Structure formats: structure tokens, C-alpha cells
Amino acid sequence: MGLMTFLRNRAGYIIIGAIGFAIVAFLVGDAISAGKPFWAASQKVVGTIDGEDISIEEFGPKVEQSLAQFKQQYGGSGNSQMQAMAVDNVWQGEVANVLLGKEYAKLGITVSSDEMSDLIQGANPSPLIVQYFGNPQTGQVDRVQVLNTFKKGMKDPKVRPQILALEAEIERQALQQKYSKLINNSVYVSTLEANDEYLNRNKIANFKYVTLDYASIPDGSVKLTDADYSEYYDNNKKRFENPTETRSLEYVSFSVNPTKEDSAAVKTQVDKLVADFKSAANDSLFSAVNSDVKIPYTYITKGKLDPAVDSVVFNLPAGSFYGPTFSGNSYKLAKVVDTRFSPDSVKASHILLNPAQLGGVDKAIKMADSLKALIQNGASLASLALQYSVDGSKDKGGNVGTFTRGQMVPEFENAAFNGAVGDLKVITSQFGVHLLKIDKQIGNSKVVKLAYIEKNLMSSTKTKDAAYKKASTFLNEVKDGNFATVAQKSGYTVGVADKVGPSQGYAAGLDNPRQLIRDSYDADKGEVLDQVYQMDNAFVVARLTDIRPKGTLPLETVKKDIEPMVRIVAKGKMLKEKMDKALAGAGNLNQVGQKLGKPVMPIQNMVLANPVIPGAAQENKIVGNVFGSQPGKVSKAIIGEAGVYSFVVDGFINPAPLANTYKQKEAMMQSIAQRSLGSAFQALQDKSEIKDNRVKFY
């Protein structure tokens, strides 16, 4: 199985520069800015980061590698969301590479050759070396195996790029760690800050309050003026910073889900399959040809199949036929070819021979037979593996570890699970000729060998053509801009995809929208996109309703969005006036409550660090005022998140003096340090010009 197999199974895709900056990507999330104009960028430039162009030639392969990694991690063939994740992963890595790389150079941060050697084979190896070469149980790294892998890998043109990528990733992580430590060492917490934090978390307030909640005023009774909108906008301008340009769309979907006629046609086809399947001379060939989902023709353990099938076939004897049963979106048929009890897992060793080096498969088999005879006569498999095996396991005495069904190629798996402990078997697989020794078999459970067919419920060509025709007719009718009117007249539902970013792989109600999103960034506001878009289960016609540019959005753009908040502010003014009248002349909070017809609510054990009033809301302003007030004094009316409040403090309970100021400081510095790298990276972005042209390519 060799070095390539080792790297594939143990390391996956070592690759992408973005992995080295996983911490940064996690901390900053979507903070990376995107720029315009797209049309001004080169046709081959995916983006420009602080003056450095990122070409599609270098960006594209990294995306493919990242996508392959996601497929390996999450399974499946990759959908539009997974593609968008891969693109964003690589883009964040490129931004980090450029901006942090310049910082490293400016600060003189480097990784010497001695440091690199220590990170790969030293006493304190890189986390990546531990991850890929460490023992899963002990975490210990076999340095001999690491050195052999790197030495052989550099000589193999197929493996060399992965080795170089791993080395580059180790270096990047080391640089980032040095930079992070440099920033963290600049963090300082004063004694005053430590004591304030301690009090905020431990000082207790007990108080009572009366509230007039916003829900007590019907929305319809509040008349908003332009001055109300302007006042709210001016007081909250920072909320309207748009980090990247977005598009909003309205659309109509024309479903291509199977009709009753489609379902009946598929059922007829399945019924015919049942008859043919029962009488088929070659079960495995028949199922392979006719199934929409391929299941390996080998023994499988319980839990691997659809529950509707899995719950039944393991109770059937060999020769039984099951189905058709419909679950998910497909009909299932199964022939139970054989049943048996089998180990749950096997521990094995092997010697792998390369037929190309020995003059062909026949000669390799003869060599394996000779080695088998030597072992049967007392020779050590471990010694012979070290001398003859071409697999990476040779340095471990040929030990390939413990594995379950489905982890090895079928020939190797069948020999390991169908034999007995101590057996020596010569087998041939796609990797070469193996001399396999079964060292241990663990557990025992029932397995079945099935000939299996799944037939998906699919829409007919007639159904798809009818949906496309409707969509095309609608597109022709709405080109003059009367989108909503025509949709309403035809009885179609208009969906909305709001504030869609250029690199998004999803949009509300749309299951495969990337091409639609890309085209929307070449359209003008109000324009109907000039084609019918095919989604997974529908054809879609769309119109661009809004463009929100990067930067501070004007009041006209956000006016509709802020209407609920403006209304709350207006209600707050109305309720404050009502509360002020109740407070006038009142000697205590009970009198205020009586005037308003509201109960006085007691609150116990409130701390400033958790300003949530039970049954109300998180009220930072109210609780902050509570901790700044004198006991026994009725407060003025205060506008909060859920309503307008007045309160009176019953008293405070102060904690014991802070016993260990150093420990408090240390905890606070650790908390700040966790955010410091992300904050530093954001600052680098804020002062850099980043032009993101990905939407033109993905």
C-alpha cells in the first residue's frame, strides 16, 4: 500500500496554506473585506491583497484541494455550499499569507533550519507531525518513520509536492505561533482592572422595579416622522457599516419534483425489476447495472444501510428476498446472498511485494510463498518485512494496526476477516501481492452479503420540460419590470433572497444558487436576470431588487430595515413621558406601580457581569444604573431594551476582598490573549486595501 497510501490514509490532504491559519480564520470569521469594482480587475486575478495580485492559476488548485479535503471530511460529492466553504477557506488563507507575511518580515520573525529540523524530528515536534505520525493511543511520534517518510517522499515525484506542502505548513504555523506570542506578551492588566472585574462578577444587587413594556402600545398607533428616522440613523451610524457589497433578489421557483404520474412510472419500473432480480443468474452484476446507488458486493455490518432495510435483512436467512420498500426518496430491493458471524475488527501484519520490481505477479506470488514457508519454519515476519516489504508499515514490523470492515481493499479485508488467528495468506490486490498474517480478531457479530438495488424517484423529462416552459414564459412576461404583478396574476409565490454576499454558496429558498448569485453581480438594480436558472429541484426566474455597496449605507437604503427600531425609540419616548408623570410626587416605588397599574417586581442576586432581568430581557443599561445607584432611592425613568423602567435598590452585598490579584490578572490576560491575534489581524485588514474578485470565478 506504500508511502502514497500512508499519506492518504494518515494525513489526508496536507496542503492548503489556509490550514496554517485556521486559528485566524476561526477568530475573524467573515471579517475579510471585499472590494469593487470587479470590472477593473484582470480576468486572471481573483483578488488583490495589499497590492499583491492572487491569480486564478495559483488560487484554483488550492480550492480543488480544499474541496477534496471537505469531501473527505464530510462525505458526498460536494455541493454549492461546500464549494463556497472551500473558496472562502483558501481566500482567508491567502489574506493571512500576505498580511501576516509582511508583518513577519517587518518584525524579523523567521524559522531557522535548525528550528525546522526540530519541529519535524526533534523532541518537541510540530502538532502536524504529531497528528500525522503520532500513535493514536500514546501520542508518541516514531522519529524513524518520520525521517523515512520525508526521505523517500522527496525522491518520489508524486509524493514530493505533499512533503513540501507539509514542510511549508509547519513553518507557517511556527511563524504564526511566534507572532501570536509577541502580541500576547504586550497584553497587560492593571490591579484596578482586576479588582473591577472581580467586583463585576461577585458584587450582588437586590432591587425592585416597575416597567412599562413596548408591547403595551400597538404598532399602528405610532406615527413615525422623517425626523424620527434621521435621529435614529445619526445616533447609530456605526451599525450601518457594510463590510462587503451585497445583492437582494426576488424570485419565482417552478418545481420539478416528481408528479403522481412520475411516481407511478417509477413504481412500474421497480415492479418489473423485482421479477427480473428474483430470477437473475448473476445477482451482483444485475444489481450493479440496475442500482442508482452502488453498495459493495461484500459482507457488511449492521448499521451501514438505510434503516428501513437494515432493520429487516439482518433477521433474514440466506436466499431471502426483501422489497420493494420506499424510504427517503428511493425504492430498495435486496437479495440476501449469505449470512455469517464475523469478527468486528482484525489486527494484522503483512509484507507487500511490488510485482513490477519482481518481474510480474506470478513471480511476486512465488516470492510471497517462499517468505510464507520461511515464517512457518520460524523466521520473523517483522525482519522479513523490513527487508522485502515496499509498504510504510515495514518499519513497524509489517503491522498495519487494527481495522474494521470497509477500511481495507476488499481482497485484503476478506482474507483478514474470513480466516483464523495465526493464518498466513498470500493475496493480490491493486497495491501488489501481500503476505498477510492475522494477528488477532476482536468481537463477533452477524454480517450479511447482499445484492442490493436502489431506484430513485426521479422526475420525468415531461415534468422537467413543463416546468421549464412555465419558467421561460414567465421570464418573457416580466422583462418589462412588472415582476410581482405578473407573478401575482399567475398565482406564483415570490421568494426573497436578502443581502446575498458575492462568495455565498447559499441563498434563502435556493438550493444551488452560485450561477444566479454571480450573474446578479453583473446586473443593475431592478433588472430581471436574463436566463432561467436550474436548481436541484426547480427552475428559477429572478430579479435584482437591491444593491448595497461597501461602506456606510445611506438612510434611504436602510430606512425599511430600521423601521422596527425607530418605532421602539418612539414608543420609549411615549412611555417615558407616562413614567415621568407617575414618578412625579410619588414617595416610593409602590406608589409608582399603583399609578401605572403595574406590579412591583423583586430581583435578587443580580451581578453586573450577567445583566439579564428574569422574564424581561438583557438590560445592560438598567442593571448598569442599578449598580451606580444609592439604596432606597427611586430612580428616574430609564429607557431599556424591553420597556421603560424605574427601580429602587434594596441593597448590595459586597464580596470578600480579592485574595489573589495575580491569579485574577492571569485569568484576564488569558482571555484577552485569546482575542488578541484576531484583533491584530483585523487591524491589519482595516489599514490594507483588499479587492475581492472571486465572484467572477466561482
CA dist 128 and 178 (Å) reads 16
- Let me know whether 267 and 178 are in one domain: no
CA dist 122 and 147 (Å) reads 11
Q: Are 579 and 604 in contact (CB under 8 A)?
A: no
- Let me know whether 45 and 153 are in one domain: yes
Neighbours of 440 (CB within 10 A): 12
- Note whether residue 359 is domain-resident: yes
- CATH of residue 390: 3.10.50.40
pLDDT at 14 over 80: no
Q: How far apart are the first and last CA of the chain?
A: 36
- Note whether residue 127 is domain-resident: yes
Domain that holds residue 593: 204-242+556-653
The pLDDT tens digits of the residues spanning 121-175 come to 888 899 888 888 877 666 778 788 888 888 888 888 888 888 888 899 999 999 9
What confidence tier does 76 reach under pLDDT thresholds 50, 70, 90? low
The predicted pLDDT at position 598 comes to 96
Q: What percent of the chain has pLDDT over 70?
A: 93
- Note whether residue 238 is domain-resident: yes
The pLDDT tens digits of the residues spanning 205-222 come to 999 999 999 999 999 999
- Let me know whether 24 and 172 are in one domain: yes
Q: According to the per-residue pLDDT averaged within each range, which of 15-29, 82-96, 405-419, 433-447 is highest?
A: 433-447
- Let me know whether 52 and 110 are in one domain: yes
The pLDDT tens digits of the residues spanning 334-392 come to 999 999 999 999 999 999 999 988 999 999 999 999 999 999 999 999 999 989 998 88
The predicted pLDDT at position 567 comes to 97
pTM: 0.65
Give the H/E segment covering residue 308: helix 307-313
- Let me know whether 529 and 560 are in one domain: no
Query: Of 514, 548, 582, which closes a domain?
Result: 548
Number of domains making up the chain? 5
- Let me know whether 103 and 163 are in one domain: yes
The predicted pLDDT at position 5 comes to 43
- Let me know whether 482 and 601 are in one domain: no
- Let me know whether 597 and 622 are in one domain: yes
Query: Of 374, 409, 442, which closes a domain?
Result: 442
- Note whether residue 282 is domain-resident: yes
- Let me know whether 223 and 301 are in one domain: no
- Note whether residue 325 is domain-resident: yes
- Note whether residue 613 is domain-resident: yes
- Let me know whether 152 and 210 are in one domain: no
- Note whether residue 637 is domain-resident: yes
CA dist 255 and 537 (Å) reads 6
Mean per-residue pLDDT over the chain, rounded: 88
- Let me know whether 164 and 60 are in one domain: yes
- Let me know whether 567 and 635 are in one domain: yes
The predicted pLDDT at position 4 comes to 40
- CATH of residue 476: 3.10.50
The predicted pLDDT at position 1 comes to 45
The pLDDT tens digits of the residues spanning 379-412 come to 999 999 989 998 888 888 899 999 998 888 889 9
DSSP 357-412: HHTSHHHHHHHHHHHHHHHHTT--HHHHHHHH--SGGGGGTTEEEEEETTSS-HHH
The pLDDT tens digits of the residues spanning 307-329 come to 989 999 999 999 999 999 999 88
- Note whether residue 575 is domain-resident: yes
491: left (phi over 0), alpha (psi -120 to 50) or beta: left
Query: Of 325, 342, 359, which closes a domain?
Result: 342
What confidence tier does 286 reach under pLDDT thresholds 50, 70, 90? very high
